[in-house]
Structure 1
Amino acid sequence: MAVSFHIMCIRLLASFPLLLAIGAGMVSAPGRAQEVTAYIGFLAPQSGSNQERGVSMVNGAQLAIDEINKKNIKVNNARVNFQLIVQDDRFNANTGKLAAQYLLKRNVLAVVCHSSTVCIATADIFQSAHIPQISVGATNHHFTQLGYNNVFRMFGHSEEGGILFGQYAYRDLKLYNIAVIDDKTPSGSAMADQFSDGFKKAGGFIAGRYSVSDKTSDFNEALASIKEKKADAIFWGGTHLQAANMIVNAKRLGLTTRFLNAMNGMNNQNVLSRVNDVGNILSLESDQPRDKLAKWKSFEKAYTTSFPGSYIDVSALRAYDAIQILGDAIKSSNSLDPQKLAETLHTEKFKGLTGPIEFDQEGNLKNPVFTVYESQGTEWKIVKVVKAD
């Protein structure tokens, strides 16, 4: 795929301030400093069943855009004005590809994406243009195993979290017989696979493995089979809203088993309100307890003030950090060259809202932290903080 003329200009002329100004849309007026606009793309669901999550993470990113625009970041003595271009990927690979092509036409310098489905489907598009692609929700390890040097993940992947949670379920929860359901997506299937591997290697038994469509709300066939097999627990690999529907269906069928989920943003109040305080839900997330984060209170206040009525998804914190580190990388490298930005992201350490941010050679977050949460009435209680080996 051809790289847009705009980005070619930036790469070839980065050392020539006047020409860079022309290529990047820099404007100036008598008595005013020069300014250049840096566009950052965001692929996230803004409609459909995952809309609430998508809106939350875009809100987090916009907060960061507003903040870094106040920092007066300059490249070659020209002030950089950051703008976010959001595209609704509808949690769909083909829609994501079309949206990615649009973002290239808009001359974005970097892209934030969410799901494994869309991040993986669009990775070759952004790699061909050498544009940094930062994921705030792609759990599938494959995203950073493509051999591309422009992909980054803001949290732990499924091979780390899934295996850890499988081991935890056997050793700490004393569960020995678990049924596993996935939603057939790259993220859900990989998470279910990794959880199953970790659980079996620890000594557990998989009572049954089931797959359903990521669009369905009918879990009756799988749940009836699981009830007959008397599994100790059900592990779900998929989105948290679909998980809520499954839990309600399971209770209606008389299942009293525990429900386990991993890295799907389950630990929010919206889920608990949907399942009517059912309890018995455990979720592992790749995050740190929020009260341990130095900047959490100020972020929470800014978010709730700017976006009243929108809950704060875990990916909103990662999206905020993704934009912040892009601003830091541009400032550090004194460049709007996307390839230079990718190189800088690989080599520098950042202090984020979510904690220390440093990427390994693949683009994965180094030393990710995982937290196990348990539903208790209308609240999520932190049970244990664990780290990958």
Structure 2
Amino acid sequence: MTTVFRFLPLALALAFSLASCGRQDSAAGDTVKIGMAAPLTGSQSDIGLDIQRGTQLGIDDLNAQGLEINGRKLKFELLSEDDEANPAKATTVAQKLVDAKVVAVVGHFNSGASIPASKIYADAGIPQVSPGSTAPRYTQQGYATTFRVVANDDQQGPAAASFLVHSLKAKKVAIIDDSTAYGQGLASTFEAAVKAAGVEVVAHEHTTDKDTDFAAILTKIKGKQPEYLFFGGIYSQGAPMAKQMKALGLDVPLIGGDGIQTPKFIEVAGAAAEGSYASIPGLPKDQMPGGKAFLEKFQARYNKQVELFAPMGYDAVFVLAEAMKRAGSTEPAKVLPELKKTRYNGVIGPIEFDDKGDLKNGPITINVVKNGKWETRDVVMPGGAK
């Protein structure tokens, strides 16, 4: 009896410990954490919140489906983090998500945030699917964990250049970039393409993604007499730039990339936005295979229109979920090989990845501001087809 009682407390403690571990494992297995990172505050928050809302809608729809893996019903939880469009903050956010044991991340938006954060996710073996980072370098670092559901700037820059040359018949263009990975990268691919087509680049100036006074740069450019001004950057700089162009008498159309193709650009620029052009990866929202239904669902849920990349955030969630189903697991190491095999028909259309994690066959849409609204002008498919 003495021996029995001597070991009874130890046995009870061991049993309690095992039971506790079992509950923790069960909770960890049944609740699947997906990270999301984007600028949720600051000058680019409209885009970041748009991505967050689209991603959350995907999580909610996934939970409504009651996904089961190996007979266990999963509940997906979104952990959203604000990277403030800041490369340093992005790495802090990435480590926070890794420490929170997320199994995958939808994000970041800015290439300048995705690129430094991608090393942290790669070191942890966690898949990262960006809904909006377009700088080629993001997927050219050799990491097996980086994917994106938008065309990159090696596709977008030449598409915008082709439109300028063939549709607008331009002979002289000036360029400004915001010195970020996104803006500078987009401007560089655009510049190379227009020069190859025989267009004269009369100036290429640089600003930052924090500046809002462009008088000196624009005055310098005005003297070069360009027919168009291309801006590689985000609407928070593009909108005041458009207004200042008009005020200084630089009365030429502004052309940009996806960073300015948002309702906020028109709202801030006002009448100065009229006649501006912008390229954006993907089909026009109303031409996306699942676009109409998604736009209606988004409006009903948030009482807001889609800004830019909400459909991409939504599809990223289901791309990850489909990979988990094929893997029969939520473990990142097992999900990653299945992500590379993705063939998913999403809201935005067919999604497949190449060996770097880039979206295959991504279309580019060219838009123009007409009567205070963005309207589709051209759709450039891979290979230059329309």
Common fold, TM-score beyond 0.5?
yes
Structure 1, residues 164-213: CA drift from partner, whole Å, max 9, x if none?
21122112211111110000100100000000001100110111010011
Give the aligned partner of residue 291 of structure 1: 286
Structure 2, unpaired ranges of 5+: 1-17
TM-score (norm 1): 0.90
The 1:162–1:78 alpha-carbon spacing in structure 2 relative to 1, beyond 3 Å, is same
Question: Identity over the aligned pairs, expressed in percent?
Answer: 29
Give the aligned partner of residue 224 of structure 1: 219
Report the Cα distance in structure 2 between the residues aligned to 1:353 and 1:59, rounded to whole angstroms.
15
Cα root mean square deviation, aligned? 1.7
Contact 2:235 2:262 (C-alpha < 8 Å) held by counterparts: no
Give the alignment partner of residue 191 of structure 2, picking from 188, 193, 196.
196
Report the Cα distance in structure 1 between the residues aligned to 2:238 and 2:342, rounded to whole angstroms.
38
The 1:35–1:93 alpha-carbon spacing in structure 2 relative to 1, beyond 3 Å, is closer
Give the aligned partner of residue 141 of structure 2: 146
Higher helix share: 2
TM-score (norm 2): 0.91
Give the aligned partner of residue 52 of structure 1: 46
1:23 CA displacement: 8.6
Report the Cα distance in structure 2 between the residues aligned to 1:379 and 1:270, rounded to whole angstroms.
11
Give the aligned partner of residue 89 of structure 2: 95
User: Secondary structure at the residue paired with 2:380?
Assistant: strand
Give the aligned partner of residue 10 of structure 2: none
1:314 CA displacement: 2.0
Contact 2:289 2:346 (C-alpha < 8 Å) held by counterparts: no
Matches within 5 A, 1:1-389: 22=22, 25-27=25-27, 36-113=30-107, 114-264=109-259, 266-278=260-272, 279-308=274-303, 310-389=304-383
Report the Cα distance in structure 1 between the residues aligned to 2:33 and 2:337, rounded to whole angstroms.
19
User: Secondary structure at the residue paired with 1:236?
Assistant: strand
1:231 CA displacement: 0.7
1:332 CA displacement: 2.1
The 1:23–1:283 alpha-carbon spacing in structure 2 relative to 1, beyond 3 Å, is farther
Contact 1:263 1:285 (C-alpha < 8 Å) held by counterparts: yes
Report the Cα distance in structure 2 between the residues aligned to 1:123 and 1:297, rounded to whole angstroms.
33
Report the Cα distance in structure 2 between the residues aligned to 1:300 and 1:64, rounded to whole angstroms.
13
Contact 1:277 1:376 (C-alpha < 8 Å) held by counterparts: no
Report the Cα distance in structure 2 between the residues aligned to 1:337 and 1:214, rounded to whole angstroms.
37
Report how many aligned residue pairs link the two structures.
363
Contact 1:161 1:388 (C-alpha < 8 Å) held by counterparts: no
1:22 CA displacement: 4.1
The 1:81–1:233 alpha-carbon spacing in structure 2 relative to 1, beyond 3 Å, is same
User: Secondary structure at the residue paired with 1:229?
Assistant: coil
Q: Which amino acid aligns with 2:198?
A: G
Contact 1:136 1:153 (C-alpha < 8 Å) held by counterparts: yes
Q: Which amino acid aligns with 1:367?
A: N
Contact 1:25 1:37 (C-alpha < 8 Å) held by counterparts: no
Report the Cα distance in structure 1 between the residues aligned to 2:25 and 2:245, rounded to whole angstroms.
56
Structure 1, residues 132-172: CA drift from partner, whole Å, max 9, x if none?
00111111100000011111011111111102211221122
Contact 1:171 1:202 (C-alpha < 8 Å) held by counterparts: no
Structure 1, residues 243-287: CA drift from partner, whole Å, max 9, x if none?
0110011111111101100122x3332222222233120111111
Report the Cα distance in structure 1 between the residues aligned to 2:22 and 2:113, rounded to whole angstroms.
33
Structure 1, unpaired ranges of 5+: 1-17, 28-33
Contact 1:35 1:79 (C-alpha < 8 Å) held by counterparts: no
Give the aligned partner of residue 4 of structure 1: none
Structure 1, residues 12-65: CA drift from partner, whole Å, max 9, x if none?
xxxxxx99x9497424xxxxxx96111011110111100111111100000000
The 1:336–1:249 alpha-carbon spacing in structure 2 relative to 1, beyond 3 Å, is same
Q: Which has the larger radius of gyration?
A: 2
Report the Cα distance in structure 1 between the residues aligned to 2:96 and 2:285, rounded to whole angstroms.
36
Report the Cα distance in structure 1 between the residues aligned to 2:300 and 2:359, rounded to whole angstroms.
30
The 1:135–1:35 alpha-carbon spacing in structure 2 relative to 1, beyond 3 Å, is closer
Report the Cα distance in structure 1 between the residues aligned to 2:216 and 2:234, rounded to whole angstroms.
19
Report the Cα distance in structure 2 between the residues aligned to 1:348 and 1:257, rounded to whole angstroms.
43
Q: Which amino acid aligns with 2:381?
A: K
Give the aligned partner of residue 9 of structure 1: none
